[in-house]
Structure 1
Amino acid sequence: MAARTRRPERRQEPLSRERIVSAAVELLDTVGEGGLTFRALAERLATGPGAIYWHVTGKTELLAAAAEAVVGPAIAGADTDATPQEAIRALALGVFDAIDAHPWVGAQLARTSWQSPMLRVFERVGRQVQALRVPEAAQFTAASALMNYILGVAGQNAVNTRTVQPGTDRTEFLDTVATAWAELDPGQYAFTRDVAGQLREHDDRTEFLAGIDLILTGIAARR
């Protein structure tokens, strides 16, 4: 009888910190922070928890690395060919889109807002504030206002996304809320009733950038 040729076994991709972080991001996107456990991560990577601990010390480090992987590309660009206003708008929108695509990262960045990667965002924003020739005494305030707006609005947008039932049509949802606003007591909610139509038609990214422009206009006025 002829000997059967044994097919070579398929080699598994070596476990690395990059693979672990990538798998963690996938878990966070699908099941949220509560579902990110080393057991679930080990099952996804077809390995043991001990092998993961060789690369990361615990969940805190893993969350920080996952946030860096998500936000890092948004803040890696250079600003050499842009005006300070354009650079700030592009950076802010990059962070907004990253948090919109990965809603869990907003809470993580809020917990570590003065560490990387948000520290790098602060540095880039601050350099553009300096390029706008903001007086030195006002530079920290200007950069902090921009940072707080970026993180706060992007994070709130992510929260709003999570609270809406999956599969809900955005247009229908906004129409329902706007209709409810329009029917509020005019004595207590005159302004809210007045802007109900704008809520129905607004675009989140456009409104976000409009807010950035308002802050930049205020910075320019103080300058």
Structure 2
Amino acid sequence: MATRTRNTERREDALSKERIIEAAVEMLDAGGESALTFRALSATLKTGPGAIYWHVANKGELLTAATDAILTGAMPPADAGGTPQEAIRAVAIGVFDAIEAHPWAGEQMSQLASQSTTLRVFERIGRQVQALGVPGPAQFFAASALLNYILGVAAQNAAMARSVQQGTDRTEVLDMVAALWNSLDTDEYPFLRTIAAQLRDHDDRAQFLAGVDLILAGIATLTRPA
């Protein structure tokens, strides 16, 4: 009995929950959610499924933990300093960069199972909205506008990443859409024809931050005396 106990302790020390999550993230990055199975994870970690189930109950719990690890590591410290606007931008770009590097996390954040991760982002944004001096009744709308924008862009990036994984290059997609806009009727779609070239050449990160700044500019109007 003593020998069996020592072996179990060595296995649990070697196979921590953190190591399981790290391996899961690597698999998700390489092949997306469909690539993550407990059989494949067991092979990667050179262990049996039972050892993994000791730390995580199922695939859903593992996906949530992996998403949480990615987003938590990407956000700046809460006491990083700077203005509330700078803190909001830092959180937003941290989430953006994390999902750019790990597209599967963008899909997970929109699901109920990953609500704890999303709530953490919401809390960080909400505190800064309060620090801006937004009146109480408007705080929910201001913070949720920022959160919904961030999650919406995350979902878009995840969809684009799926297209790339299926063999379609981002540049090809933008060229195709820009060409479509250019072919639209001039009288019916004058605006889309005007910005078609900008769509083709735009930088996703710069576009994202411009959107955050536009929302922050709108929020600023809530703090001005009537």
Into which bin does the TM-score normalised by the smaller protein fall?
0.7 to 0.9
Which residues of 2 match residues 72-221 of structure 1 at below 5 A?
A: 72-112=72-112, 115-164=115-164, 170-171=170-171, 173-221=173-221
Deviations 1:12-45, CA, capped at 9 Å, x for gaps:
9811111111111111111211221111110111
Report the CA distance shift for 1:68/1:215 in structure 2 as closer, same or farther (over 3 A).
same
Normalised to the residue count of structure 1, the TM-score between the two structures is 0.88
Q: Which amino acid aligns with 1:211?
A: G
Alpha-carbon RMSD across the aligned residues, in angstroms, is 2.1
Task: Please say if 1:43 is aligned against 2:39.
Answer: no
8 A contact 1:113–1:119 mirrored in 2: no
Task: Please say if 1:55 is aligned against 2:72.
Answer: no
Task: Quote the Cα distance in structure 2 between the aligned partners of 1:53 and 1:165.
Answer: 30
SS in 1 for 2:55: coil
Q: Which amino acid aligns with 1:199?
A: L
Deviation, structure 1 residue 172: 5.0
Deviation, structure 1 residue 187: 3.3
Which position in structure 1 is the counterpart of 2:222?
222
SS in 2 for 1:134: coil
Deviation, structure 1 residue 112: 3.1
Unaligned stretches of 5+ residues in structure 1: 1-10
Task: Quote the Cα distance in structure 1 between the aligned partners of 2:178 and 2:61.
Answer: 42
Report the CA distance shift for 1:130/1:105 in structure 2 as closer, same or farther (over 3 A).
same
> How many residue pairs were aligned?
213
Task: Quote the Cα distance in structure 1 between the aligned partners of 2:56 and 2:38.
Answer: 10
Task: Quote the Cα distance in structure 2 between the aligned partners of 1:164 and 1:177.
Answer: 15
Task: Quote the Cα distance in structure 2 between the aligned partners of 1:93 and 1:215.
Answer: 14
Deviation, structure 1 residue 119: 1.1
SS in 2 for 1:115: helix
Task: Quote the Cα distance in structure 2 between the aligned partners of 1:92 and 1:174.
Answer: 24
Q: Which amino acid aligns with 2:195?
A: V
Deviations 1:149-205, CA, capped at 9 Å, x for gaps:
011112212211221366765445433432332122223322211110111221000
Deviation, structure 1 residue 76: 4.6
8 A contact 1:99–1:155 mirrored in 2: no
Task: Quote the Cα distance in structure 2 between the aligned partners of 1:107 and 1:172.
Answer: 23
Task: Quote the Cα distance in structure 1 between the aligned partners of 2:121 and 2:169.
Answer: 33
Task: Quote the Cα distance in structure 1 between the aligned partners of 2:113 and 2:46.
Answer: 33
8 A contact 2:174–2:200 mirrored in 1: yes
Task: Quote the Cα distance in structure 2 between the aligned partners of 1:149 and 1:113.
Answer: 20
Deviation, structure 1 residue 113: 7.7
SS in 1 for 2:181: helix
SS in 2 for 1:117: helix
Task: Quote the Cα distance in structure 2 between the aligned partners of 1:33 and 1:165.
Answer: 12
Task: Quote the Cα distance in structure 1 between the aligned partners of 2:17 and 2:113.
Answer: 23
Report the CA distance shift for 1:26/1:165 in structure 2 as closer, same or farther (over 3 A).
closer
Q: Which amino acid aligns with 2:87?
A: A
Report the CA distance shift for 1:165/1:62 in structure 2 as closer, same or farther (over 3 A).
closer
Task: Quote the Cα distance in structure 1 between the aligned partners of 2:47 and 2:28.
Answer: 19
Which residues of 2 match residues 25-44 of structure 1 at below 5 A?
A: 25-44=25-44
8 A contact 1:89–1:212 mirrored in 2: yes
Report the CA distance shift for 1:50/1:207 in structure 2 as closer, same or farther (over 3 A).
same
Which structure has the greater CA radius of gyration? 1
